[in-house]
Homo-oligomer: A and B are copies of this chain.
Amino acid sequence: MADPITVEDPDDPRLADYTGLTDVELRRRREPAEGLFIAEGEKVIRRARDAGYEMRSMLLSAKWVDVMRDVIDELPAPVYAVSPELAERVTGYHVHRGALASMRRKPLPTAADLLRTARRVAVMESVNDHTNIGAIFRSAAALGMDAVLLSPDCADPLYRRSVKVSMGAVFSVPYARLDTWPGDLKTVREAGFTLLALTPDERAASLDEAAPHRMDRVALMLGAEGAGLSARALTAADAWVRIPMSHGVDSLNVGAAAAVAFYAVATGRPRP
């Protein structure tokens, strides 16, 4: 617990965690390397804390110090109070919600860890848009998926934009990264999961006919917006499933498709 420290110099090294937040490439390199991520806004910061992430520091404009008082009081991390103008100079954008926290990453579980207890798993291939990753985690959490597995080239669920769009669901749905793709899918199968690839291909069984909610353990594979699953990933699956479509529409957006598929996979199970 410490009193907020007023900082007036944008080059103060204590603010280094927050510099250049709009530079996606920079942050993409820095954040995992330095073991941090940024949570933005009161609700998301509280959810990160409740999920057991440790805080490195907080950056608040003055009026947020009172709102976050209980968080400040219980934590050993320093709190920097700054003007909105200084926050903008440091981060590179207008911080709408007035509160940022730099959080310490936790070691990720392994896929094997997650597969031991999960029964419904989403497997994403090459989803590298931060908004889509966040939206998919939000739906995964709401619709009862137990875990998410990411191919090595998926975007970072803890990137600021992903965290925000997910409304903090990236903290509540455990996830792991697969080391080799699609090779590591065999670990998933060996753990007793049926690998279902979601594809618009007409040869796929429609989700309602496939009735995945009656299967014991399901790993639902999703590809990126536009490209969909790769041929290698489709080949590695046990079966293909598709969302029945009308009106000659090519496809749903990946967020809508994921939500429908999660619902189809999870519904019918007893709920917590």
Contact = CB atoms under 8 A, between A and B. Distances in A.
Contacts of A248: 172
Contacts of A245: 142-144
Contact of A252 (B253, B259, B264, B268): B259
Interface stretch (A9-17, A78-86, A122-130, A133-141): A133-141
A271 interface: yes
27 contacts: A135-B253, A135-B256, A139-B252, A139-B256, A141-B246, A142-B247, A142-B251, A142-B256, A143-B243, A143-B245, A143-B246, A143-B260, A144-B244, A144-B245, A144-B246, A167-B249, A167-B250, A169-B247, A172-B249, A208-B268, A243-B263, A244-B267, A246-B266, A246-B271, A246-B272, A255-B256, A259-B259
A247 B257 CA distance: 20
Contacts of A264: 263
A68 interface: no
A71 interface: no
Nearest to A259: B256
Contact of A243 (B142, B207, B208, B252): B142
Interface string A99-126: 0000000000000000000000000000
Contacts of A167: 249-250
Contacts of A169: 247, 249
A258 B252 CA distance: 12
Contact of A256 (B138, B172, B173): B138
Nearest to A255: B256
Q: Which of A141, A142, A173 has the most CB of B within 10 A?
A: A142
A167 B245 CA distance: 15
A246 to B, nearest CB: 4
Contacts of A244: 143-144, 266-267, 271
Interface string A220-263: 00000000000000000000000111111111110111111001
Nearest to A262: B260
Q: A-B pairs with the 9 shortest C-beta distances?
A: A256-B259, A144-B246, A142-B249, A141-B247, A208-B267, A260-B263, A141-B249, A142-B245, A142-B252
Contact of A247 (B172, B259, B267): B172
A141 B256 CA distance: 12
